[in-house]
Amino acid sequence: MRETEHTGVSLPAAAFACKGGWSLDTQFTESVGSPYLLAHGLGVPVVDAQTEAALPSAGRWRVWVRTRNWVPGVADPPGRFRVLIDGRPLAPVFGVAPDAWEWVDGGVVETAATRVRVTLRDLTGFDGRCAGVAFMRGDRPPVSAAAWADGETDARRHTFDLVVTGGGIAGTCAALAAARQGLKVALLHDRPVLGGNASQEIRVWCGGEARHPLVREVRNRFMNREIGAALSDRMRMRLVQDETNVTLYGGWRACGVERTPEHDRIAAVTARQTETGEPARFAAPLFVDATGDGWIGYWAGADYRMGREAAAEFGESMAPAEADRMTLGCSLMWTSMAANTEVPFGPLPWAEPAAQGVVATQGEWNWEYGLDRDVIAEGEAIRDHLLRVIYGSFSLAKRDPQHADRVLDFVPFNLGKRESRRLLGDVILTENDVRDRTPFHDAVATGTWSIDLHERAGGADFLTMCRQPLFGRYWIPWRALYSRNVKNLLMAGRCFSATHVGLGSPRVMNTTGQMGVAVGCAAALCLRHALEPQALAADPVRVAELQASIGGEFPGHPDPAQAGWTVIDDADAEQVLFQGNWKQGLHENGDHVGSGFRYAEQGGTDTWAAYTLPVRQAGMHCIRLTWNVYWDGRARAVPVSIRHARGTLRVTVDMRQGSGLWHDLATVALIPGIPAEVRIETEGTDGVVVADAVAIERIGDT
């Protein structure tokens, strides 16, 4: 609660003590001026929000409500709500005007006491919104856009080794990787759950090659729109809470930076608690921007781009002839479900025209809008358009008696974004780096996803289609993960240094997670050796040290973890015999050895894969097997037999677990001249069986 101009009291809606069923929407803070409360009830009015206001004195007060009509130009706008003072409704219904955020006059109230109860009462369940309520002595509304950031108190000051802003998959991995290297890390995140697009709030599946064990721990294990994302959120939150070197500032939104006197470095990130507006200052020698929208870089004056490059600029065949402001669009993926009774919904005259004839009970990634709009400045309008088309198309579907029992189940209000600002590093990753798999000497992460660009599908303005050429594993250099002009700024996630086309692949979240691991490890090295990110890039010894601390194979550096192993891949025709019906698999999760893998959908005695083991020297050998998990259809109990010098050993493996990992099967004696084999069998299995690669490692004498 804050005084405005000493003439009144202003209550930010975000600070309401009891929010009831209203959701706290933080994503448009910069354009709206504050977070706000949203009555996102999917057509069912949400429970009242309530708080108490302490007025300087009793008497006559003019009440102002900061709100807007989110569907301009319709007869009966949907976002209607009332404001009650001590249980008595103010005369106006709010949410019907104006079209842009403003203080709306609620009339005069006479209060007998200095403490009054303020209630927000939703009337529709259709996304009414309120940013604040103010009590003013005169006839003028508060000067400030929102009370949230008024009444400046001294910012609390914190100092860390590293400040990571944005707790999506990239930021969470960055914070944990740095913490595991011993750094004291602050993780600032504006939502109550970690994971960004992968969280239960948006529910995007994590694609691309995970590669690093930390990414596997952090990622969403479920497919698009599945409620299981909530389980992954809990596991991710537990990881962060258990990591003593990470201090999580959940519900804190960064709102600016302080720069050093030379203006080429960040001294501190400033942030506000999303409910109370309480300010704080986070100082550190290094900062990671993992906000997706490149906010930290933007405030710090980092070079950035937004939009598409012309084809000629980097010689990109998939880029347009002329540069423009187009980006990938935003989505709200949604679902409905069957209730065990009829559930009325609609008709919604304010929404149905927006559906443009599309009748639907669910929507996937291709419900995408805003490719030609400014994803940051116009984010709220993009989100609102998508809400309107979802409600409209569902309302049309509900006219059909076969959908009488369908009810909206999941419609996010947090916008799923794919692309906005891209901060520029010393290298800008382009289409050609993905296509040609440029073997960067300073590679620190890999990608395997296709270059996944979208365009309008034609017809309705919210449907897109994609082009997805696939090029295999490529490399992301360290020089694309720090700012070229803000000396102590690292980036991870979709705001890293790439062209529009170059970003089309590495924007997927197992890859952004790898970027997080890389910047976390790099931050530790920079501090240990007193190097700035650019200086680290210039020192081949330090680059090699960085690659070693990340682990795994990089161009010119074989994976030390696998040194001494002999790997037999499904593609090694002379050593692997496939019997029965095996298909060739290549999926973009990339969790496979070599160029692909085989899989059998139907089990049977005559369907098996036999890997002949090359034995060069007698001894005890550790036998390992790797497979990948793409969805729950993998077989749970797959029989594997290991023929060795002293007989045959049988084990079973669960192919729903441990995607892309090497699993120890057994340690056995192998002797040259005595046949040795690993056979993956399928008889009696309850799902898809994968045959990818077997590894043997000699670990001692027999």
Ligand X SMILES: Cc1cc2nc3c(=O)[nH]c(=O)nc-3n(C[C@H](O)[C@H](O)[C@H](O)COP(=O)(O)OP(=O)(O)OC[C@H]3O[C@@H](n4cnc5c(N)ncnc54)[C@H](O)[C@@H]3O)c2cc1C
Distance of closest approach, residue 164 Cβ to ligand X, in angstroms? 10
Name the DSSP letter for residue 196: G
Q: Does 490 bind ligand X (CB under 6 A)?
A: no
Residue 507 found at the interface with ligand X (CB under 6 A): yes
Q: How many CB atoms lie within 10 A of CB 378?
A: 16
Q: Does residue 205 belong to the site contacting ligand X (CB under 6 A)?
A: yes
Q: How far is the CB of 511 from ligand X (least distance, A)?
A: 7
Three-state helix/strand/coil letters over 286-319: EEEECCCCCHHHHHHCCCEECCECCHHHHCCCCC
Number of residues engaging ligand X in binding (CB under 6 A): 37
Tell whether residue 64 is a contact of ligand X (CB under 6 A).
Answer: no
Neighbours of 80 (CB within 10 A): 19
Q: Which is nearer to ligand X, 277 or 493 (CB)?
A: 493
Nearer to ligand X by C-beta: 81 or 282? 282
Does 295 contact ligand X by CB under 6 A? yes
Contact between 181 and ligand X (CB under 6 A)? no
509 binds ligand X (CB under 6 A): yes
Asked if 292 interacts with ligand X (CB under 6 A), we say yes
What residues from 240 to 259 belong to the interface with ligand X (CB under 6 A)? 253-254
Helix (H) or strand (E) holding 388: helix 379-397
Q: Please list every residue from 18 through 47 that binds ligand X, using CB under 6 A.
A: none
494 near ligand X (CB under 6 A): yes
Edge-first strand listing for the sheet containing 583-585: 583-585, 597-600, 689-691
**Which amino acid does the sequence have at 416?**
G
Helix or strand run (H / E) with residue 103: strand 102-111
Where in 208-227 is the site for ligand X (CB under 6 A)? 208
Binding window for ligand X (CB under 6 A); candidates: 80-88, 411-419, 464-472, 604-612: 411-419
Q: Which is nearer to ligand X, 169 or 248 (CB)?
A: 169
Q: Find the binder of ligand X among 145, 149, 264, 365 (CB under 6 A).
A: 365
Q: Does 305 bind ligand X (CB under 6 A)?
A: no
**Contact pick of 189, 281, 305, 406 for ligand X (by CB under 6 A):** 189
Query: Does residue 416 belong to the site contacting ligand X (CB under 6 A)?
Result: yes
CB of 158 to ligand X, least distance (A): 15
d(CA 206, CA 198): 7
Q: Which of 35, 41, 125, 166 binds ligand X (CB under 6 A)?
A: 166
Binding flag, residue 508, ligand X (CB under 6 A): yes
Q: From CA 285, how far away is CA 266, in angstroms rounded?
A: 8
Q: Does 190 bind ligand X (CB under 6 A)?
A: yes
169 binds ligand X (CB under 6 A): yes
Which of 567, 651, 641, 566 has its CA nearest to residue 609?
A: 641
Q: List the structure tokens of 352.
A: 């149905």
Q: Minimum distance between the CB of residue 364 and ligand X, rounded to whole angstroms? A: 8
Our CB check for ligand X shows the closer of 292 and 392 to be 292
204 binds ligand X (CB under 6 A): yes
Instruction: Give the binding range for ligand X (CB under 6 A) out of 32-40, 163-171, 177-185, 297-305.
Output: 163-171
Least separation in angstroms between residue 486's CB and ligand X is 16
From CA 545, how far away is CA 556, in angstroms rounded?
Answer: 13
3-state helix, strand, coil in the chain (%, to 5): 20, 35, 50
Taking CB under 6 A as the binding criterion, the range among 201-209, 228-236, 345-353, 665-673 that sits at the site for ligand X is: 201-209
If one asks whether residue 418 binds ligand X (CB under 6 A), the answer comes out as: yes
**Length of the chain (residues):** 702
Q: Which of 188, 343, 642, 668 touches ligand X (CB under 6 A)?
A: 188
Task: Indicate the residue among 170 and 237 with the shorter CB distance to ligand X.
Answer: 170
- Tell which residue, 274, 293, 393, has the closest CA to residue 345: 393
Q: Which residues contact 212 (CB under 8 A, 6 or more apart)?
A: 173, 513, 514, 517, 550, 551, 552
For the residues of 235-265, what is the DSSP string, one character each? HHHHHHHH-TTEEEEETEEEEEEEE-TTSSS
Task: Report 619-638 residues binding ligand X (CB under 6 A).
Answer: none
Q: How far is the CB of 365 from ligand X (least distance, A)?
A: 4
Closest CA relative to residue 433, chosen from 481, 346, 501, 487: 501
Does 274 sit near ligand X (CB under 6 A)? no
Rounded CA-CA distance 410/386 in Å is: 14
CB of 222 to ligand X, least distance (A): 11
Cβ burial, residue 346 (10 Å; 0-12/13-18/19+): middle
| Separation of alpha carbons 520 and 490, rounded Å | 9
Does 4 interact with ligand X (rule: CB under 6 A)?
A: no
- Please list every residue from 313 through 332 that binds ligand X, using CB under 6 A: 331
132 vs 167, beta carbon nearer ligand X: 167
**Separation of alpha carbons 312 and 294, rounded Å:** 26
Q: How far is the CB of 208 from ligand X (least distance, A)?
A: 6
Cβ–Cβ < 8 Å for 212, 510 = no
Check whether the bond before 555 is cis (ω within 30° of 0). no
Q: Least separation, in Å, of the C-beta of 298 and ligand X?
A: 10
Q: Is 170 in the site for ligand X (CB under 6 A)?
A: yes
CB 235, min distance to ligand X, A: 17
Quote the least distance from Cβ 286 to ligand X, whole Å.
17
With binding defined as CB under 6 A, does residue 429 bind ligand X? no
CB of 27 to ligand X, least distance (A): 7
Among residue numbers 451 through 470, which ones bind ligand X (CB under 6 A)?
Answer: none
Question: How many other C-beta atoms are found inside a 10 Å radius of the C-beta of residue 47?
Answer: 14
Is 298 a binding residue for ligand X by CB under 6 A? The answer is no
| Residue 191 lies near ligand X (rule: CB under 6 A) | yes
Stretch that binds ligand X, among 15-23, 66-74, 189-197, 579-587 (CB under 6 A): 189-197
Strands (E), 137-261: 156-159, 162-165, 185-189, 246-250, 252-259
Q: Are 115 and 1 in contact (CB under 8 A)?
A: no
> Among candidates 450, 442, 455, which has minimal Cα distance to 543?
442
Query: What are residue 195's phi and psi, to 5 degrees?
Result: 125, -15
Of positions 23, 232, 291, 612, contacts ligand X by CB under 6 A:
291
Q: Which residues contact 93 (CB under 8 A, 6 or more apart)?
A: 80, 81, 82, 123
Any contact of residue 420 with ligand X (CB under 6 A)?
Answer: no
Q: Are 511 and 480 in contact (CB under 8 A)?
A: no
- Binds ligand X (CB under 6 A): choice among 33, 35, 95, 207: 207
In degrees and rounded to multiples of 5, residue 169 shows phi and psi of -65, -40
Q: What angle do CA 185, 189, 194 make, to 5 degrees?
A: 95
Instruction: Pick the binder of ligand X from 13, 53, 187, 206 (CB under 6 A).
Output: 206
**Binding string, 70-89, against ligand X, x = CB under 6 A?**
--------------------
When asked if residue 69 is in the footprint of ligand X (CB under 6 A), the reply is no
How far apart are CB 338 and ligand X at their closest, in Å? 24
Note the residues at the interface with ligand X (CB under 6 A).
Answer: 165-171, 188-191, 196-197, 204-208, 253-254, 290-293, 295, 331, 333, 365, 416-418, 493-494, 507-509, 512
